[in-house]
Amino acid sequence: MVNTCVISFIPRNGRKSKKGIPIYCRIKIGKTIAEFSTKIRAKEGLWNNEFKRLSPKAEYSDSLNQSLDELDKKLKDLYFEFKGKNSSPISAELLKDIYFGKHIKVNGIIQLTEVFIKDMDKELAEGSLKNYRYTYRALEKYLIKDYKRKEIPLESISMKFAVYFEKYLKTNTSCTQNGAMKHLQRLKAILNYGIRIECLKYNPLSAYKIKFKKVLPKYLNKHELQTIESAIFQDKTLNNTRDFFLLACYTGLSYIEVKNLTKSNIIVGFDDNLWLSTTRQKTGTKEEVPLLPKAIAILNRYLTHYKETFPIYSNQAINRNLKKLAKLVNLNKNLSYHSGRHTFATTIALANGVPLETLQKVLGHNSIRSTQIYGQIMNEKVSQDFAKLIV
């Protein structure tokens, strides 16, 4: 039996208001039904149930009935267009999605990546979305270089594709081993999303091994921290950058958490001392940090002056300024803003006896494994210090 598409318009009497009764469009294909509001309303008694249109007595009935006729035709045209191009069945809900532009036929890897980024806009943190955009651009450049095309079909994505994409990232970009693995990890996530939206039956890279190289986080020791802390620069921007970085060193906050900081995040804790209460954007975990005196001094200086939000520069500008700052104080380290969070975990917390379990809670880590890497750093430091004693 061939399923036909029936379009009808029905009044929703239970939702009537002073503006009238809303008219809904009902799509029926076989046993499937979908409905949506037409945004048209009819005054009570001015809807013709026999013809399923507004009564001629209704205001603007001609133009409104014409809109309903056009909607009827548009839906049927979309139905027959889909049937002509696809062997798969179409449901009423699918036709509704096609009408509202929610159903997009995804054929290529670049198109799938675009759809993923658009659909994940509300689900992923901005930092994660930014990283997916980096992967999107890396894929674009790779396709142009190796395929001389801007797009390839999803059927072309294979283990071989991943091998050569990894090789491209390591030889044609500034990616390290871990940077390349991050791109491939994100590519696998995009392909998994393709399964969810039914444009792929399986992930062709599911067996591809993601191999991260063990790299211990960069941090400042006590002497290096004091060197930066005591430095005074002629450039106001560098002085501000130093203070913003020190705030991370004494609170463990990431860049985005400092950027979103307001006075309302500073609370009086159960111990009558000042605490910083935020939500870790990366994991959604609550972070509550007792404020150290040096952190309080920086917060007072900047939040008092700027009243509400913390006036931090962009992440790129901060990292650029930190490199200038390190050079000026003869510090041979490639600093980034996140180095401040690592410094808090090691030099400020663990080196002063804070247990890993407490540090996990303060840093907002979901898993203790994320925190244990700082314990490994401290063990390595102990080993290096004792090695100096060997004579």
Let me know whether 116 and 27 are in one domain: no
Residue 367 in this model has a pLDDT that exceeds 90: no
At residue 32, the pLDDT reads 92
CATH of residue 352's domain is: 1.10.443.10
What is the pLDDT confidence band of residue 119, given thresholds at 50, 70 and 90? confident
Let me know whether 129 and 94 are in one domain: no
Instruction: Give the DSSP H/E element, type plus range, for residue 40.
Output: strand 32-42
* Domain boundary residue, one of 47, 74, 99: 99
* Domain presence at residue 215: no
Let me know whether 301 and 381 are in one domain: yes
* Domain presence at residue 25: yes
* Domain presence at residue 203: no
Structure tokens at 109: 């890897």
Let me know whether 78 and 138 are in one domain: no
* Domain presence at residue 217: no
Let me know whether 176 and 297 are in one domain: no
| Choice among 40-49, 304-313, 332-341, 362-371 with the minimum mean pLDDT | 304-313
Residue 382 in this model has a pLDDT that exceeds 70: no
Confidence (pTM):
0.59
What is the pLDDT confidence band of residue 103, given thresholds at 50, 70 and 90? low
* Domain presence at residue 204: no
* Domain boundary residue, one of 55, 81, 99: 99
* Domain presence at residue 213: no
What whole-number percentage of the chain has pLDDT above 90? 48
- Amino acid occupying residue 13: N
What is the pLDDT confidence band of residue 385, given thresholds at 50, 70 and 90? low
Instruction: Report the C-alpha gap between 307 and 339 in whole angstroms.
Output: 27
* Domain boundary residue, one of 179, 196, 213: 196
Instruction: Report the C-alpha gap between 104 and 97 in whole angstroms.
Output: 9
Residue 140 in this model has a pLDDT that exceeds 90: yes
Domain range for 315 is 222-387
Identify which has the larger pLDDT, 42 or 180: 180
Let me know whether 266 and 322 are in one domain: yes
Let me know whether 35 and 137 are in one domain: no
Number of helices (H), then strands (E), belonging to the chain: the values are 14, 8
Residue 211 in this model has a pLDDT that exceeds 60: yes
At residue 2, the pLDDT reads 61
Residue 216 in this model has a pLDDT that exceeds 80: no
Taking CB atoms within 8 Å and a gap of at least 24, the contacts of 257-263 are 257/281, 257/287, 258/310, 258/312, 259/310, 259/312, 260/309, 261/303, 261/309, 261/310, 262/303, 262/308, 262/309, 262/310, 263/303, 263/307, 263/308
Let me know whether 349 and 247 are in one domain: yes
CATH of residue 143's domain is: 1.10.150
Let me know whether 176 and 271 are in one domain: no
* Domain presence at residue 349: yes
Q: Which residues contact 145 (CB under 8 A, 6 or more apart)?
A: 168, 172
Let me know whether 121 and 163 are in one domain: yes
Let me know whether 170 and 302 are in one domain: no
Per-residue pLDDT tens over the stretch 223-254:
999 999 999 999 999 999 999 999 999 999 88
* Domain presence at residue 212: no
What is the tally of structural domains in the chain? 3
Residue 391 in this model has a pLDDT that exceeds 60: no
At residue 100, the pLDDT reads 84
Average pLDDT, the chain: 87
Alpha carbon separation from 270 to 279, 280, 288, 355 (Å, rounded): 19, 21, 12, 20
Residue 259 in this model has a pLDDT that exceeds 60: yes
At residue 383, the pLDDT reads 62
Structure tokens at 174: 């500034």
Let me know whether 273 and 358 are in one domain: yes
